[in-house]
Structure 1
Amino acid sequence: MEQHVARPEVWQQLGKWRPLLPAMLLFSAVAVDLTTPRDVSASALYAAGILTAAPLLSLRGTILTGATALLLDFAMFWYFGYRGSGPELSELSMVTTVAVVAAFLNRLVYHLHTQLRSARDIAAAVQRAVLPDPPKASGPLRFAARYEAAQTDAHIGGDLYAVVDTPFGVRCVIGDVRGKGMEAVRAVAASIGTFREAALREPSLSGLVERLERAVAHEIQQSGSMTELEGFITGVVAEFPRRSKEVRLVNRGHPAPMLFLTDTVRYVEPSRSGLPLGMSDLATGPECIDTVMFPDGAILLLYTDGLTEARDEKGVFYDPVGRFAGYTPPGPDALLDALLADVHVHTGGRRTDDMALLAITHTPDNG
């Protein structure tokens, strides 16, 4: 696999120095006052130093910066021999006013930050409830999952995944709701709830998929908005039978899973294309179930199209098979970390669609 190192944002690189910016501006103001003619004022730098402190420092730090700026400005007037003249009082009044405004802005930023942090905590709680992390292991199987929403700071969107250990083997699903907003989130919650319940009860994989089909159709009817939900969910359902080194796959209009073997990686294309969930009225024939060998050390990657439809600045789609050819991942977590890092390099950090990743590996069962 071609290795890349993403370049951190300049703002992140300089993050630890940001609290020093107000002091640097005040220092620059004093330097300008001392090195320029006496009729040249650095009042703009004093004001900039105070206002910069508002979002970067605490309330105490902001007030201290304002007081320091006022004292330094007064000291410069005294140094140049001004004694209570009109320009001196006008500039000192301006600096004082800016300091008061900066203290107010500091409190405003603090309360906005508190509200944002609360919203993020709520979003994270919703994600844990709707998309809980899969188990780390079940028998010889090991799991890892990642989720990135298209919207910055969002925690959940229209992609879904779930892993359930059942009497019939371990069953997994990954899917993509064709819609946005709260309608998509509601469809995600309904689909995962149905999958978890049906996976424990339905003995056959085809019966499980049929239950999902009915749940999606019911959700479409209940939503009352075909435009927002767009009427279907693409998905892959995988079943790992117990004491068997194979996986059974049902692909309903979803991107083909990827299978990582020693130094090789390939797409697992379905033998017959299936329609997305929610379009059963157009389907004909029995459910297509493909059985694929899944030996020790193999990793199956289930993903949504946010991965393969990620584009670089020239509009070139991301090709995970081509970029990871010859790469042997040491485990599912390492694979997903490497994959996400490589996607971010390819796109330059831009995200236009949700992306869900679920990796499963088969290790020797020592139990």
Structure 2
Amino acid sequence: MTEKAERAGGSRVLFALPYGVMGLATAAELLTPPGFGMLPLLSLGPAFAGLVGTRWRTAWIGSLAGLMCLLLALYDGQLGRRRISIALVCVAGVTAAGLVAAVLRERRDAELASVRSIAEVAQRVLLRPVPRVAGPLRVAVSYTSAVAQARIGGDLYEVVAAPGGTRVLIGDVQGKGLEAVETAALILAAFREAAHDDPDLDGLSRRLRRAVDRELHGEKFVTALLAEVTGEGREVTFLNFGHPAPMVVRADGRPLFPEPPRFALPLGLGVHGGDEPEPFRVAFEPGDQILLYTDGVSEARDAAGRFYPLDERTELLKAADPEAALEELRTDLVRHTAGPLHDDAAMLLLRHRDAGPDPRPAGDAG
């Protein structure tokens, strides 16, 4: 059963619960001798309604519970007895409490919806949609938050088609919350400006390092991977600042994880010394694919603690549409964890404009 179906099933149960408990209370009253004292159980109906329903539904169920009290008392010949009055007071009191709870919950939900809409606007400003076509590349992006209600976090990505080539950035800010968002905004702004101005990847990386060093203090840092595709796109150049290695998927489905000849510290830790990042180049022929991702993908674990086997999932990237292929991979990632991710997961898939992976099995190619 899918998560959406489970939520729908749970909603139906909660919707029917007040009627179910009132039905059980009615049956108990009818099956026990008059005066046994089961009528106050009818107040459970408006109690449960106040937890999940609107104020109007709570008022309706409370009124229904009061009417059932009167009808059952009339049926048993107990109308006017003290216990009937007590049962009616219980129903009225619980209904009033349920109405207060429903009103407060509706106000909270409205505030949460407002905050979510603001977060979505902030995301569109911070992580604006990447171009589906940039220079010689076709691009697809996927972002999965670790919290179902969240729309924004510390992972970042950008694709810029500049005169000198197509520049790509993916990164992961240490920490969470607004501070991480502010840092992500700083890096993206610096990258978007430098990607158009600097003639080479080294100059672009120096601009990023200066921007981050000015703003980050202490042990805060950002892992990042820069990529540049020039000309016809037959070669890609990487600069790695402590980020997970890109996955290059050859046309035959074979995955490679190229690593730099010399590892560099993440952005923000340059003041502590360490080597400068060294560019490294990888062949990128038509039919190949490049997947850039954050550690929310590579470090996702299942219930047994096993990491997500990204190198075994290249078959999921065979769809002709890069967005569909990336969605297949994202769905499999969420399925692997069997629940919410423990960290945000961003992915960028790069393909040549004039070629994609052969959708036929290898034995059928010819």
Q: Which residue of 1 aligns with 2:171?
A: 175
Contact conserved, 2:40 with 2:91, CA < 8 A, in 1? no
Identity of aligned residues (%): 36
**Structure 2 Cα separation of the partners of residues 44 and 349 of structure 1:** 40
Deviations 1:143-188 (A, max 9, x none): 2222233344222222111111111121110111223333222111
2:91 corresponds in structure 1 to: 95
Q: Distance in 2 between matches of 1:326 and 1:100?
A: 54
How far apart in 2 are the matches of 1:302 and 1:327? 13
Q: Does 1:130 align with 2:120?
A: no
Matched, 1:335 2:298: no
Distance 2:171 2:44 in 1: 50
Letter in 2 for 1:308: S
TM-score (norm 2): 0.89
Structure 1 length as normaliser, TM-score?
A: 0.89
**Contact kept in structure 1, 2:136 and 2:233, CA below 8 Å:** no
Equivalent residue, structure 2, for 1:246: 235
1:51 aligns with 2:47: yes
Structure 1 partner of 2:105: 109
Letter in 1 for 2:291: L
Q: What SS does structure 2 have at the residue aligned with 1:256?
A: coil
The separation in 2 between residues aligned to 1:81 and 1:13, in whole angstroms, is 40
- Of 148-157 and 298-307, more deviation after overlay is shown by 148-157
Instruction: Give unmatched runs, 5+ long, in structure 1.
Output: none
CA RMSD of aligned residues (A): 2.2
Contact kept? 1:49, 1:65, Cα under 8 Å: yes
Q: Which amino acid aligns with 2:209?
A: E
Q: Does 1:265 align with 2:281?
A: no
- Partners of 1:9 and 1:40 lie apart in 2 by 42
Give runs of aligned pairs for residues 1-367 of structure 1, distance below 5 A.
10-43=6-39, 45-221=41-217, 226=218, 230-262=219-251, 263-281=253-271, 282-284=273-275, 287-324=277-314, 328-364=318-354
* Aligned counterparts of 2:307 and 2:43: Cα–Cα separation in 1: 48
Which amino acid is 2:278 matched to? C
Q: How much does 1:289 deviate?
A: 1.5
Deviations 1:311-339 (A, max 9, x none): 12222222211244686343332232222
Q: Name the CA distance, whole Å, in 1 between partners of 2:40 and 2:250.
A: 63
Question: Once superposed, which parts of structure 1, at least 4 consecutive aligned residues long, lie more than 6 Å away?
Answer: none
Please report how far the alpha carbon of residue 293 of structure 1 lies from its aligned counterpart in structure 2 after TM superposition.
Answer: 1.9
**Higher mean Cα deviation, 30-39 or 205-214?**
30-39
Q: Aligned residue pairs: how many?
A: 353
Deviation at 1:210, TM superposition (A): 0.8
Local SS of the residue matching 2:216: helix
Whether the 8 Å contact between 1:6 and 1:341 is mirrored in structure 2 is no
Q: Secondary structure at the match of 2:168?
A: strand
Instruction: Please state how far the C-alpha of 1:40 moved relative to its aligned partner.
Output: 3.6
Q: Is the 8 Å Cα contact of residues 246 and 291 (structure 1) preserved in structure 2? A: yes
Structure 2 residue runs of 5 or longer lacking an equivalent are 356-366
**Retained in 2: the 8 A contact 1:265–1:325?**
no
Contact 1:174-1:304 within 8 A present in 2 as well = yes
The range that moved more, 292-301 or 77-86, is 292-301
CA deviation vs aligned residue, 1:70-114 (integer Å, no higher than 9, x gap): 001111111111021111111111111111222222111110110
